[in-house]
Amino acid sequence: MLDKFRDECGVFGIFGHPEAANLSYLGLYALQHRGQESCGIVSSDGHKLRTHKGMGLVADVFKNDAVFQDLPGSSAIGHVRYSTAGGNDLKNAQPIVVDYARGSIAVAHNGNLVNAQEVRNDLETRGSIFSTTADTEVIIHLLAHARSDSLIDRVTEALQIVKGAYSLVFLTETRMVAVRDPHGFRPLILGKLDGAYIVASETCALDLIEAEFIREIEPGEMILVDKSGLKSFRPFAKVPTAACIFELIYFARPDSRIFGHQVYSVRKEFGRQLAREHGVEADVVIPIPDSGTPAAIGYAEETGIPFQLGLIRNHYVGRTFIEPQQSIRHFGVKIKLNPVRDEIEGKRVVVIDDSIVRGTTARKIIKMIRNAGAREIHMRISSPPTSFPCYYGIDTPTRKELISSSHTVEEINRYITADTLGYLSQEGMLKAAGACLGEEGKFCHACFSGQYPVKFPRLKSDSQLGLF
């Protein structure tokens, strides 16, 4: 799928391994799809935290081997981030590292707090200063103000004040703490390598470094790792789980397992269910690569229509939201995709994508397929219409930009110029992911249903919310 949602972040942590920084680098490399604009690693040698952060891809920020000599120690945490504002936003790069009364602490955060501004206002009134615009800094301040004696209690004290989505990894000189918010919006995985504990946003980070997958950190669980080993805590009141279903639809890598699912297989099942709901007579099923591919395979399997790679992706284009140069902008999707004419010409084509945001890209692709000689084009989307913005860590377009928030499927189809258009139903989506609509818990599907599991203040300044 092209030009769509932006992953917010990926986190990684490792405790007790002589190559902590190097393995964090590799872990972040595997999580690169979760954030491409900045990244960083903080290591501890037991006495002192050291940081290297920068704007850009992991392979670029850490391209100089010397960097790793400046990150000694056997524990480290890392972060990849999509920064929402342009320009020099290095100050918002994570992990954030600070000194406070108990020493130094670093934090890496995936998610979004819905009451960050309120808490920030309170803290400022008490004399706190803020160096970044990230909601994560609020957590650090709360931690510094916490009065409990133990680190776990202080983290708990701080997190009891904030609301929203967070998968967090903290590093102090001598300890690592990982927490997943009570709803479990974002994934967080526990693994092990050579006796060292590892946490990561997705299992693909474990795979790359050949670490063993232990289990997922559970919603509301807090893990403390220090030299005496790993301890698990449950400091929060139990609430229904609300795992972000969009991770399964689009964000996570298909080779990852999160929320108890192999992502690839769920996507394929979305495609199968889509076929059951919106079957059509056709000659070929083609995906919009690469995000539409597993669903297209599922659709083809269910219908028996042959699957073909009818659109070839240019390997030299980065992920879709990395814009090409000014001068070639008007070439739009052509710079990224090109049809295989022989597989399309004269045929009835089912085109599978995982979602439609503004509709402009889908429209261009359909035109491209039409020009390649398709007789009929049936667009099928392996998720329901995305009508509501996310407040839990996904940088969705505003409602104004989401074509589904103001147009019917019929209208959208007219705009994108397909012969027919079918979306996966909410029920079908949840069923394919092993859950039921109406049932409490398991998934957050607010972006489709508008049912937000955690309430949030109506901020005047936020144009997204102005629509409600």
The interface with a copy of itself within residues 75-104 (CB under 8 A) comprises 87-88, 90-91, 96-101
How far apart are alpha carbons 167 and 187 in whole angstroms? 7
Question: Which of 133, 155, 152 is CA-nearest to residue 143?
Answer: 155
Distance CA 408, CA 234 (A): 44
Q: Is 153 in the site for a copy of itself (CB under 8 A)?
A: no
Per CB under 8 A, does 434 bind a copy of itself?
no
Out of 5, 12, 15, 25, the residue judged to bind a copy of itself by CB under 8 A = 25
What part of residues 282-301 is at the interface with a copy of itself (CB under 8 A)? 290, 293-294, 297, 301
Nearer to a copy of itself, 229 or 306 (CB): 306
Please report whether residue 130 would count as binding a copy of itself according to CB under 8 A: yes
Q: Which of 117, 174, 265, 360 binds a copy of itself (CB under 8 A)?
A: 265
Residue 57 lies near a copy of itself (rule: CB under 8 A): yes
Q: Is 334 in the site for a copy of itself (CB under 8 A)?
A: yes
3-class secondary structure, 3: coil
Distance between alpha carbon 395 and the CA centroid of its chain, in Å? Answer: 9
By CB under 8 A, tell whether 59 contacts a copy of itself.
yes
195: left (phi over 0), alpha (psi -120 to 50) or beta: left
Closest-CA residue to 310 (of 212, 377, 214, 403): 377
Give min distance, CB of 52 to a copy of itself, in A: 6
- 172 is a contact residue toward a copy of itself (CB under 8 A): no
> Contact between 161 and a copy of itself (CB under 8 A)?
no
Does 2 contact a copy of itself by CB under 8 A?
A: no
Contacting residue, 212, 231, 323, 328, with a copy of itself by CB under 8 A: 328
Q: Do residues 295 and 316 lie in contact, with contact meaning Cβ atoms separated by under 8 Å? A: no
Nearest to 314 by CA among 338, 295, 294: 338
Q: Is 127 in the site for a copy of itself (CB under 8 A)?
A: yes
> In whole angstroms, what is the distance from residue 205 CA to residue 211 CA?
8
Contact status: 253 vs a copy of itself (CB under 8 A): yes
Contacts of 114 (CB under 8 A, 6+ apart): 163, 164, 391, 392, 454, 455, 456, 457
Selected binder of a copy of itself within 175, 192, 276, 319 (CB under 8 A): 319
Calculate the CA dihedral of residues 425, 255, 40, 165 and round it to 10 degrees.
30
Residues 351-370 that bind a copy of itself (CB under 8 A): none
List 47, 48, 63, 215, residue binding a copy of itself (CB under 8 A) = 63
Paired with 55 in beta bridges are 38
Counting contacts by CB under 8 A, is residue 156 touching a copy of itself?
no
Q: Catalytic positions, please?
A: 9
Residue 326 carries which DSSP code?
Answer: G
279 interacts with a copy of itself by CB under 8 A: no
Tell me which of 56, 324, 373, 441 binds a copy of itself, using CB under 8 A: 324
> Which residues does 216 contact at the CB level (< 8 Å), separation at least 6?
187, 188, 189, 190, 258, 259, 260
**Beta carbon nearer to a copy of itself, 11 or 23:** 23
Residue 460 interacts with a copy of itself (CB under 8 A): yes or no: no
